[in-house]
Amino acid sequence: MSDILLEVKDLRTHFITGENTVKAVNGVSFSVRRGETFGLLGESGCGKSATCRSITRLINPPGKIIGGEILYEGTDLLKLPMDKLRRLRGREISMIFQEPMTALNPVLPIRTQIFESLDPQMSRAQKRARALELMHLVGIPSPEKRIDEYIHQFSGGMRQRAMIAIALASQPRLLLADEPTTALDVTIQDQIMKLIGGLKERMNMSVILVTHDLGVVSQMCDRVAVMYAGHVMELCDTVTLFFHPRHPYTHGLFRSLPRGKGTRTRLKPIAGAPPSLENLPAGCPFEPRCDWAGECCRIGLPPLTEIAEGHFTRCYFHAKLPDEVRFPTRM
């Protein structure tokens, strides 16, 4: 059996509105191993969420997956008939969305929404027992009482826990977590991330974690792909990313972080702004903001090159970059 559970190859997802085309995902490739947590890291608008949604083909018009392969256990999900894909969603691949208030149904009690993710062959009593078990597993207090409540009666943290319970109902092999702690306070964020990490180990799942938070990456991820303007700019294991980053954008992310208590180093934000995804430059999309860019960076997009075992970067001048040793706290 292969160690690779999911392999994404040259994925391209565009949003076409009239004469404009937004290239949200522009040739993204990576793989996810069995039992690992793989991070998709980058600023808002870089294509992380669109990549995550593309995996289960949850891209709504005007968005369209225009190319690539998404191989799950060797089967290309982009070629799978919709009826077979629907059976795969929720059963083997589940997703935690950014905002539970928009993803959950406000007019149905939470029990009904969990029941919908369970085996239809189960009796109502079996479904209720399983729903109570899941609510207890994700840390919802008094599940016997709360199972009949509606989502507006839950706090933000409890809504996210309910979303996780639904996602785990069928014991998936791959969990897609799209910014699962958005709009939650820091204490609740930490609880949710620890919950996902613990459940991943307990259920032997693979997890794709979409985040903009380097602190989350350091605590949760085994490997990570750094995304910018629809492209993967750097891909490696998490330890290598923090000790030996080899792309200027990754360096820029680290330099913009506080160095920790007791230090007085001035923060250095990344100058400028990301390019429009409707009008990407011919060369490297980070070139206008890069301190190391040369003429070759303006001519064509650098290839994603393996510079050490398992360490890929999209930069011609990676050897000139200094090491950054960072241990970020949660942002």
Is CATH 2.40.50.140 what the domain over 1-92+176-331 is classified as, yes or no?
no
pLDDT bin (cut points 50, 70, 90) of residue 324 is low
Q: Which helix (H) or strand (E) holds 312?
A: strand 311-313
Grouping H, G, I as helix, E, B as strand and the rest as coil, residue 76 is: strand
Phi-psi domain of 262 (left: phi exceeds 0; alpha: psi -120 through 50; beta: other): left
Query: For residue range 272-309, what is the model confidence (pLDDT) as tens digits?
Result: 999 999 999 999 999 999 999 999 999 999 999 999 99
Mean pLDDT comparison of 31-35, 138-142, 319-323, highest-scoring range: 31-35
Q: What is the pTM of this model?
A: 0.92
Q: Which of 239, 253, 210 is nearest to 308 (CA)?
A: 239
* pLDDT tens figures, 39-80: 999 999 999 999 999 999 999 999 999 999 999 999 999 999
Task: Using the predicted structure, report yes or no on whether residue 243 has a pLDDT greater than 60.
Answer: yes
Domain boundaries, the chain: 1-92+176-331, 103-169
Q: What percent of the chain has pLDDT over 90?
A: 78
Cα-based angle 18, 20, 24 (whole degrees, multiple of 5):
125
- Least confident piece of the model among 49-53, 224-228, 317-321, 327-331: 327-331
**Which positions ≥6 away from 252 have C-beta within 8 Å?**
268, 270, 289
Residue 259 pLDDT more than 70? no
When pLDDT is averaged across residues 214-243 and rounded to a whole number, the result is 96
Tell me the pLDDT band of 330, cut-offs 50, 70 and 90: very low
